[in-house]
């Protein structure tokens, strides 16, 4: 335990000695560095020892405890004052609180109350000290390597780990970081999820090559900060004063994709001014990246006419584009409409959700009036409405996009080309979901189909065409293969393994395992025991 310095003040010698002898100050984390029996002695002692906490009586001759507090404050010293007062001095206690006293205690002092107050004072002082030490470390880092330090500050800021005021303070300290016309554009990039699943061995190599190539090209023209996002995707915050940067970055991404021959998924934000614009650009790019990942698109970017706008606000035209895309059963237009819609949304998350909710209601009404809605689509809309309070802005957009795309796909089932184009991304998500939930006994084609926003019948047909087996056989295969791995590794008892593969009946598990491998689990396990 770190020891903090304590000064105790009381003009009555008996009471002062009683305070010293009665309490285990060291046990509470305090080293008593001095005592005083008068106000002037107290002032001199505090200025000499610089204590963290001062425990003082209010009523003293000539110089009171209040006067001591005022004098120490004038000197600019930072310490916590805990004042002692009798009932008759309650007015003094109020004044002490107005002067910023941490707490006051009534005489005679209750042991439990004093210990509680001292614990609180200790924690408060430690927080102050740790904060001060962090700031001092920041200053040292700033002097040593301003570029690396700024990179760290920017990353923490966009991750909501430090406030904007602190970032501004750092920028002002370094100087020449921001010019008047500087804006920030965020690029969020990764390799397509499908490729990650189906080519796991090549994924990291491809990702490394893409990130390296992209960074090299960005470095040639722009100042930037780079770090890894929460989901492992690359985040580039590009600083620029040029209006054409968004289009140039899109061209750069397309070049990298072509050169590296990798399925790049990326999103580019609009340019935003100022430190707050930096965070806004990241939030926008992450939103669009989620949409890009869901659709399998190469890149989402700002349409030129939107990029050149200075502000305009939300327009119902953005809603109409989505509605008409669904009306025409056009997936390409739906994707483009959602991009435009996202850029038109206001900054407040609650209002974003309201606008998206409005779009869903209008689409549902249009479908009822024109094409009709089958039960599976109705269920998806109902699920969305019942869970809307649990969705943030970004998640609302993602969920609504998947639902509306599912509407289009369900109405285009009879067109083979459409099925071939889009079923792979569904299967990638489905495979990942199955793998993650193998321990769930209730896992079924209904739950997986629901996760990827497809009708179970349609999902089952696409699944069989993809894997050349039914969903039921695939699920059994995955569970048995996982059970084999666990038995080979000796991870737990057979009962534990049953639970890990979602078959909670050991007898039934043994029956299925023997059917699949020709051996009982116990026999299979013995082969791998040393």
Which domains are seen in the chain, by residue range?
A: 4-134 (3.40.50.2300), 145-306 (3.30.70.270), 474-526 (1.10.10.60)
Share of the chain above pLDDT 70, in %: 82
Residue, of 89 and 365, whose pLDDT is higher: 365
Which 8-state DSSP code applies to residue 519? Answer: S
Per residue in 163-201, pLDDT tens? Answer: 888 888 778 777 667 777 788 999 998 887 666 666 666
Bridge partner residues of 286 (DSSP): none
pLDDT score, position 3: 93
Has this prediction a pTM greater than 0.85?
no
Kindly state the average pLDDT of the residues 382-392.
79
Peptide bond into 108 cis (omega under 30): yes
Beta bridge partners of 83: 56, 104
Contacts 24+ apart (CB under 8 A), 452-456: 452/402, 452/426, 453/380, 453/402, 453/403, 453/405, 453/406, 454/376, 454/406, 454/409, 454/410, 454/426, 455/374, 455/376, 455/377, 455/410, 456/376
Q: Is the pLDDT of residue 310 over 60?
A: no
Mean pLDDT to the nearest integer, 195-211: 73
Question: What pLDDT is recorded for position 421?
Answer: 44
Nearest to 483 by CA among 474, 495, 469: 495
pLDDT of residue 413: 62
Cα–Cα dist 100/93, whole Å? 11
- How far is Cα of residue 404 from the mean position of the Cα atoms in its chain? 26
What average pLDDT does the chain have?
80
By the 10 Å C-beta count (0-12 exposed, 13-18 middle, 19+ buried), 522 is classed as: exposed
Q: What is the pLDDT of residues 417-442, one digit of tens each?
A: 444 444 555 677 788 889 988 988 88
pLDDT in the model for residue 416: 44
d(CA 290, CA 282): 12
Distance CA 510, CA 495 (A): 10
């Amino acid at each position: 335990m770190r020891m903090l310095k304590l000064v105790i003040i009381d003009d009555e010698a008996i009471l002062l000695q009683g305070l010293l002898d009665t309490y285990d100050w060291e046990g509470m984390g305090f080293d008593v560095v001095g005592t005083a029996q008068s106000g002037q002695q107290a002032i001199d002692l505090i200025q000499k020892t610089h204590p963290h906490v001062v425990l003082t009586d209010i009523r003293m001759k000539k110089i009171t405890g209040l006067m001591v507090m005022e004098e120490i404050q004038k000197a600019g010293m930072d310490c916590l004052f805990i004042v002692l007062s009798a009932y008759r001095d309650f007015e003094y206690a109020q004044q002490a609180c107005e002067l910023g006293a941490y707490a006051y205690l009534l005489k005679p002092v209750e042991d439990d109350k004093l210990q509680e107050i001292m614990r609180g004072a200790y924690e408060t002082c430690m927080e102050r000290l740790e904060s001060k030490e962090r700031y001092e470390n920041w200053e040292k880092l700033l002097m040593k390597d301003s570029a690396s330090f700024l990179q760290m500050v920017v990353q923490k800021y966009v991750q909501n780990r430090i406030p904007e005021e602190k970032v501004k303070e750092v920028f002002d300290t370094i100087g020449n970081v921001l010019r008047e016309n500087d804006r920030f554009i965020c690029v969020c990039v990764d390799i397509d999820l499908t490729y990650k699943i189906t080519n796991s061995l090549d994924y990291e190599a491809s990702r490394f090559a893409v990130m390296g190539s992209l960074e090299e090209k960005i470095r040639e023209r722009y100042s930037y900060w780079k770090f890894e996002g929460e989901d492992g995707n690359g985040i580039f915050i590009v600083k620029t004063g040029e209006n054409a940067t968004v289009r140039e970055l899109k061209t750069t991404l397309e070049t990298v994709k072509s050169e590296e021959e990798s399925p790049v998924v990326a999103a580019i934000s609009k340019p935003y001014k100022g430190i707050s614009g930096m965070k806004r650009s990241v939030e926008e790019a992450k939103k669009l990246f989620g949409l890009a990942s869901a659709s399998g698109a190469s890149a989402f970017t700002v349409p030129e006419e939107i990029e050149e706008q200075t502000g305009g606000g939300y327009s119902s035209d953005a809603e109409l584009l989505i509605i008409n895309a669904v009306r025409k059963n056009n997936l390409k237009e739906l994707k483009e409409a959602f991009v435009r819609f996202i850029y038109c949304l206001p900054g407040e998350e609650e209002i974003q959700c309201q606008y998206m909710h409005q779009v869903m209601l209008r689409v549902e009404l249009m479908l009822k009036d024109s094409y009709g809605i089958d039960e599976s689509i109705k269920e998806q809309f109902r699920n969305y409405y019942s869970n809307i309070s649990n969705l943030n802005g970004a998640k609302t957009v993602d969920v609504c996009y998947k639902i509306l795309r599912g509407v289009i796909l369900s109405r285009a089932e009879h067109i083979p080309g459409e099925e071939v184009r889009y079923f792979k991304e569904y299967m990638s998500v489905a495979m990942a979901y199955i793998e993650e939930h193998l321990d769930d006994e209730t896992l079924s084609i209904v739950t997986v189909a629901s996760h990827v926003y497809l009708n179970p019948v349609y999902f089952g047909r696409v699944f069989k065409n993809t894997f050349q087996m039914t969903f039921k056989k695939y699920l059994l295969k995955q569970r048995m293969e996982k059970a084999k791995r666990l038995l080979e590794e000796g991870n737990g008892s057979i009962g534990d393994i049953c639970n890990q593969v979602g078959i909670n009946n050991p007898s039934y598990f043994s029956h299925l395992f023997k059917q699949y491998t020709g051996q009982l689990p116990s026999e299979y396990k013995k082969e791998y025991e040393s």
